[in-house]
A and B are shown apart, each in its own frame.
Chain A
């Protein structure tokens, strides 16, 4: 807490009060002393010279009458002044004169005893109680005059000698002045000490006032903080919250006017939200203040608090004239900032100065109000978004209902499709079975008839029978493919996992496939890495995949080269075997490659007519690869041949693979 500095006026006031108290006390003291002197003089006269005699006749001594009457005159008037008009300079001057006159009377009453002169010195010392050296002046003058007159006309009464110099009174006066000098020093020192006491008392008072003010400020600030906290935490609207804040500022800080503007960031405009004190309307000339205009706008622009104190309220302040007229002595304006982002401005005019603690509290209040504004805005934004979300949720709910209906519909459709698929599969299975039985009979009998025709030397029939047998086999092959495909689509196709040697599998495969490849005068090149070993997979389906690919390559290549490259590889961290079948055949366009793995689809409609086939071979390849956890990809360009790459895991298969998913086209 800073050291309290007493005001000079208060020191002077206290000093004068002390002087007045001292003068009054001393006046009353002298009133008693004068009365005592009077009584004592009378008693003294009665004791020493009660009667004056003339022979046998006695009468009251003149000294008694002098003590009563003259003593009364001398003492009672100043004593009355001391009682009725204590503290007045005239009173103490009269008392000073009376003391000296009383000294003169006592000298008379005591018969000029030199000891009575000590009354003069004692009286001067008593007069110094006033701590007013001016009192000594009239007293000293009276003594000097008394001695001068007596010295001139009756020196024996005052000097004790019959003949004295006419200037001897100066010697006596000088002794009195000598005492006066010391008494004057005593008075001056006493006054200095009195002034020091006044200064200490004033400082103490000031400190007490400062402490009381600080305590009052603390109480007011605690109430303000509490009120602001309540206003900020109540679930009220922004304008109500800010109005409660301004009212709390006015109430607890003796504020004349407190206002809060919020920033309209879009218009770069401060909008008056709350006003309490002398003005409560929100639609005045300062209802909307652009940034940088007026002091409020400048506070927003500069983002620094503005503080004007005491009589020096900034004359440039917009409301300076009003403030002076209303007795406002302090102004404070604070930008309302949240993380350096301006959200508004808070101002307050007060009828008393802002202490440092008040300033700190107002800064904290400004921070709190800023956070409150931001919170209210966030709450409003949250409400808006919640509303939007609710609307979106409603839309989503509608969509979900629609989707649910669609799903139900799809489920029905799926059930119908599955039923249809099952019916189709059942139909195909039974159909295949029903077809394969007579077909096998046809193929078998045509083979027997060929043998008989050969035995009977009927070569002309052999050719026809071979065509019948070939057509039957093709038809059987077609039926088997359809059967496999339908099994896959029906989810009834299962793998028969076994361990087999890849090279042995290839050797056996090539025995079957070589004629198919070479029938168009093609050359088959097979290249296997030496590291090839065994694989745990479905041997039949692996062989059928390769057979289909090699058969296709032989079918669409003439006088070309067909290559089979087999090697170990790693796919996604799993060991695989890569089978690559490359031909130098007709090749395909990109559009064609995208649909060749679909059932009953060939590169174009002329393919079947030109090259034959069912369009199921590559579809089966694709489905088998996926069923076995592998993949098939194709690279091709028209006239440049094709390259089919099959990658199959060495161990087992990935059951998660959807067998119905299409193959990749490189």
Chain B
């Protein structure tokens, strides 16, 4: 009797664990809201575009732990490109928070990246200019200001590793063909729903 009871509990346990892992898996693989990036470099952006090189912009929420993987992938990407783009990492700074709120470890990590400009985006002006809604949204504009790529550079939420976004950007920057122009982006919403 006890044996049957234990067996039943064990089966239930296995099911619960499997379901839990499946839910977690689903969460990790659930993409954020895609960006509605403008096809050309937004004129009202405060960021300056490079005229002789592509410009790469990553918009991130400074408190989003998932974006740590995006920064890691960005570092990987920059290390492997033949053409070095002008790169910005733009961290959201809502007006509701005081100064320094954005100075997180993500900020410091981004600051350590070579040839990367870390920019504070007060109240999400730049994010809205680039139509980004999810932290980790990465945009690539060519030297002519045309949008080449818009998407995430992680395979799932907070997971580093080989992914379609990074591969596409590498291909675009290195002159490759058959590159995708967009991928899912995984991260925290940059703006609260309804805002």
Chain A residues proximal to chain B, CB less than 8 Å: 48-58, 61-63, 66, 69-70, 73-74, 77, 81, 85, 90, 94, 97-98, 101, 104-105, 108, 111-113, 154, 156-157, 159-163
Q: Answer yes or no: B53 CB below 8 A from chain A CBs.
A: no
Contact A157 B156 (CB under 8 A): yes
- For residue B18, give the distance in angstroms from its CB to the closest CB of chain A: 8
| Given known A-B contacts A104-B21, A105-B21, A162-B155, A53 and B188 have beta carbons under 8 A apart | yes
Q: Are B17 and A55 in contact (CB under 8 A)?
A: no
Q: A54-B188, A62-B24, A70-B20 are in contact. List 18 more A-B contacts (CB 8 A).
A: A49-B66, A49-B158, A52-B65, A53-B188, A53-B189, A55-B94, A55-B189, A55-B195, A58-B63, A66-B24, A73-B20, A90-B6, A90-B10, A108-B21, A111-B159, A156-B159, A162-B155, A162-B162
5 A/B residue pairs, CB under 8 Å, sorted by A: A61-B65, A97-B14, A108-B28, A112-B158, A162-B162
CA distance A191 to B144 in the complex (A): 73
A49 contacts B65, C-beta separation under 8 Å: yes
* Of B14, B65, B189, the contact of A48 (CB 8 Å cutoff): B65
Contacting residues, chain A, for B29 (C-beta < 8 A): 154
Residues of the B chain whose Cβ atoms lie less than 8 Å from the Cβ of A90: 3, 6-7, 10
Shortest Cβ distance from A114 into B: residue: B161
Contact with A along B76-93 (1 / 0, CB 8 A): 000000000000000010
> Which residue on chain A has the smallest CB distance to residue B127?
A55
* Chain A positions within 8 Å of B28 at CB level: 108, 157
A76 to chain B, nearest CB (A): 9
What are the 5 closest A-B residue pairs judged by CB atoms, nearest first? A55-B192, A49-B65, A70-B20, A156-B155, A162-B162
- CB pair A157 B192 closer than 8 Å: no
Judging by beta carbons under 8 Å apart, are A162 and B164 in contact?
yes
Residues of A within 8 A of B192 (CB): 54-57
Check if B167 is an interface residue, CB within 8 A of chain A. Answer: yes
Tell whether, in the assembled complex, residue A111 and residue B69 are in contact, meaning their CB atoms are under 8 Å apart.
yes
Q: Which of B13, B61, B94, B155 contacts A73 (CB 8 A)?
A: B13
**Which chain B residue has the least Cβ–Cβ distance from A48?**
B65
| 0/1 interface trace, chain B 15-35, chain A, CB 8 Å (1 if under) | 011001101110111000000
Docked Cα-Cα span, A156 to B92, in Å, equals 28
In angstroms, Cα B161 to Cα A163, docked, is 11
Q: How far is the CA of A90 from the CA of B10 in the complex (A)?
A: 9
Residues in A neighbouring B94, C-beta threshold 8 A: 55-56
The interface size of chain B toward A, counting residues with CB under 8 Å, comes to: 47
> Is B17 a contact of A112 with CB atoms below 8 Å?
no
Contact between A101 and B64 (Cβ–Cβ < 8 Å)? no
Q: How far is the CA of A52 from the CA of B135 in the complex (A)?
A: 11
In Å, the complex CA distance between A94 and B10 comes to 8
CA distance A55 to B3 in the complex (A): 51
In the complex, are the beta carbons of B9 and A77 less than 8 A apart? yes
> Which A residue's beta carbon lies closest to that of B62?
A53
Q: Is the CB of A111 within 8 A of B97?
A: no
State A69–B23 Cα separation when bound (angstroms): 12
Assembly CA distance A425 to B11 (angstroms): 152
Q: Tell me the nearest residue of chain A to B10, going by C-beta.
A: A94
Within the assembled complex, what's the spacing in Å between the Cα atoms of A98 and B20? 13
Interface membership of B190, Cβ < 8 A: yes
A74, B16: Cα distance in complex, Å:
8
Which B residues form the contact surface with A (CB < 8 A)? 3, 6-7, 9-10, 13-14, 16-17, 20-21, 23-25, 27-29, 61, 63-66, 68-69, 92, 94, 96-97, 124, 135, 155-156, 158-164, 167, 188-193, 195
Nearest CB on A from B132, distance (A):
12
User: Is the Cβ of B65 less than 8 Å from the Cβ of A157?
Assistant: no
Residues B21 and A54 in contact, CB atoms below 8 Å apart: no
Q: With A and B bound together, what is the CA distance between A111 and B69 in angstroms? A: 8
Q: Known contacts A58-B63, A105-B21, A108-B21; decide if A156 and B163 are in contact (CB<8 Å).
A: yes
Q: Which residue of B lies closest to A57 (CB)?
A: B192
Among A56, A74, A160, A162, find the residue whose CB has the most chain B CB atoms closer than 10 A: A56
Q: Tell me, in angstroms, the Cα distance from A105 to B69 when the chains sit together.
A: 18
Give min CB distance, B40 to chain A, whole Å: 26
When the two chains form their complex, are residues B9 and A55 in contact, meaning their CB atoms are under 8 A apart?
no
Chain A, Cβ-Cβ closest to B18? A101
Name which residue of chain B comes closest to A149, CB basis: B25
Candidates B17, B162, B191; contact of A161 at CB < 8 Å:
B162
Are A66 and B20 in contact, CB atoms less than 8 angstroms apart?
Answer: yes
Q: Which residue of B lies closest to A47 (CB)?
A: B65
User: B residues within 8 A CB of A159?
Assistant: 161
Q: How far is the CB of A90 from chain B (nearest CB, A)?
A: 6
Given B16, B25, B135, which contacts A154 in the complex, CB threshold below 8 Å? B25
When C-beta atoms are compared, the residue in chain B nearest to A71 turns out to be B20
CB-defined contacts of A52 to chain B, threshold 8 Å:
64-66, 188
A154 to B156, CA, bound (A): 9
Cα–Cα distance between A94 and B67 once the two chains are bound (Å): 36
**Cβ–Cβ contact A112 & B66, under 8 A:** no
Of the candidates A54, A81, A108, A156, the one whose C-beta lies within 8 Å of that of B189 is A54
CA distance A79 to B88 in the complex (A): 49
Question: What is the CA–CA distance of A111 and B9 in the complex, to the nearest angstrom?
Answer: 30
B96 touches A69 (CB 8 A): no
A111 in contact with B17 (CB, 8 Å): no
Say whether B162 contacts A160, CB under 8 Å. Answer: yes
The interface residues of chain A lying within 8 Å CB-to-CB of B135 are 53
Closest to B22 in A: A149
Q: B65 and A156: CB pair below 8 A?
A: no
Please report the C-alpha to C-alpha distance between residue A77 and residue B15 in the assembled complex, in whole angstroms: 13
Closest to A164 in B: B162
In the complex, A294 Cα to B188 Cα: how many Å? 104
A157 to B24, CA, bound (A): 12
Given A62-B24, A85-B6: A74 and B17 interface contact (C-beta under 8 Å): yes
CB distance from A160 to the nearest CB of B (A): 4
Smallest CB gap from B158: residue in A: A111
- Given A53-B61, A53-B64, A66-B20, A112 contacting B13 (CB threshold 8 A): no
| A108 contact set on B, CB distance < 8 A | 21, 24-25, 28
- Residues in B with CB closer than 8 Å to A48 are 65
CB distance from A613 to the nearest CB of B (A): 147
Q: In the complex, which of the residues A50, A58, A73, A90 has the most CB atoms of chain B within 10 Å of its own CB atom?
A: A73
Task: Among B17, B23, B64, find the residue whose CB has the most chain A CB atoms closer than 10 A.
Answer: B17
